[in-house]
Amino acid sequence: EGRLIFLWRLCGGLNVRCHSRTCSTDLFLCLADTDECMFNNGGCQHVCVNTVGSYECRCKEGFFLSDNQHTCIHRSEGMSCMNKDHGCAHICRETPKGGVACECRPGFELSKNQRSCILTCNHGNGGCQHTCDDADNGPICGCHPKYIMHTDGKTCLETCAVNNGGCDRTCKDTSTGVHCSCPVGFTLQFDGKTCKDIDECQSNNGGCDHFCKNTVGSFDCSCRKGFKLLTDEKSCQDIDECSFERTCDHTCINHPGTFECTCNKGYALYGFTHCGGEVQKCATLYAGRVLVFTLTWKL
Ligand SMILES: [Ca+2]
Ligand SMILES: [Ca+2]
């Protein structure tokens, strides 16, 4: 720390005082030394000692001079890495001067407090999903175009602008990311993206009176033979075959899902709907009726 040294005047011999200035024993010159300690204690935290052409800081008992040569560090007794209070976030190392110095694992840097460790982009991309920029207080994450930053500041969320946000059908951008939805007749799967047809027939037979057939996005009701589907497309109603003309030659009796023909006395039924003119011997077996036009169904 050289300060301005002025050649003042020749001095007579060794150890001669030059009016409060110091005499150089080599050159027999009076040197004008600046007392740096006069101003602000030379910047020393504890003790400032002026020297020829310079000065030095010293520390009180129990302290040692830090690397900046001005401040003093307390030489804590028992302050070692064995002491739990060393405060190092990652690695603790003991210094030759009797203190501890913290270090960080790879990818981390020591923060301003000299104890905490800050993640850097060099390690695991700073925890960022997409882009990472190192800043004073740690990494700052960014997202690729068409993605938005999650509130965690690290994860990047899809938007509907990319691949429909991964949604099967309808995609909507929200503050928490994309929100997929499905049209009527479909349910959103657990992945939150896929739409799957609802099998309406699984529940209450789809509301169908008789048959329910699942279709993609909907379902169809149908009725057993002899019934017709009503306009509500679910209910089945018996067809009154007797309301049609000439269903039976003589008498028509309607039944749910079917009908029956009977013949007048003296006539025999044949072909389910016709009545023959002469009663055959075997016709008595039928007693003029009892032949029910029965339709069989497979359910
Ligand atoms: Ca369906
Ligand atoms: Ca009927």
Any idea which architecture 240-293 has in CATH? Ribbon (2.10)
Q: Determine the pLDDT at residue 51.
A: 84
**pLDDT, tens digit, for every residue of 221-264?**
999 999 999 999 999 999 999 999 889 999 999 999 999 999 99
124-157: CATH architecture: Ribbon (2.10)
pLDDT of residue 160: 92
Q: Quick check: do 124-157 and 200-236 share a fold? A: yes
Of the ligands numbered here, which is closest to the C-alpha atom of 187? 1
User: 216: CA distance to ligand 1 center in Å?
Assistant: 5
Closest ligand by atom to 244 CA: 2
Q: Which of 209, 286, 246 is nearest to 259 (CA)?
A: 246
Domain ranges of the chain: 124-157, 163-197, 200-236, 240-293
The two three-digit tokens of residue 223, written as one number = 């009725």
Write down the mean pLDDT value for the chain: 80
SS percent in the chain: helix, strand, coil, step 5: 10, 35, 55
Cα 186 to ligand 1 centroid, rounded to whole Å: 7
pTM, two decimal places = 0.43
Model pLDDT for residues 126-171, shown as the tens digit of each residue: 889 999 998 877 789 999 988 888 888 999 888 998 889 999 999 9
Concatenated DSSP letters for 77-131?
Answer: TT-STTSGGG--SSEEEE-TTS-EEEE--TTEEE-TTSS-EEE-TTTGGGG-SSE
Q: How far is the CA of 220 from the centre of ligand 1 (A)?
A: 9
What is the CA(200)–ligand 1 centre distance, in A?
A: 6
CA of 262 to the centre of ligand 2 (A): 15
Closest ligand to 236 CA? 2
**How large is the average pLDDT for residues 92-99?**
77
The answer to whether the beta carbons of residues 116 and 110 sit under 8 Å apart is yes
Q: Is the pLDDT of residue 9 over 70?
A: no
**Check: CATH 2.10.25.10 for 200-236?**
yes
CA 142–ligand 1 middle distance (angstroms):
43
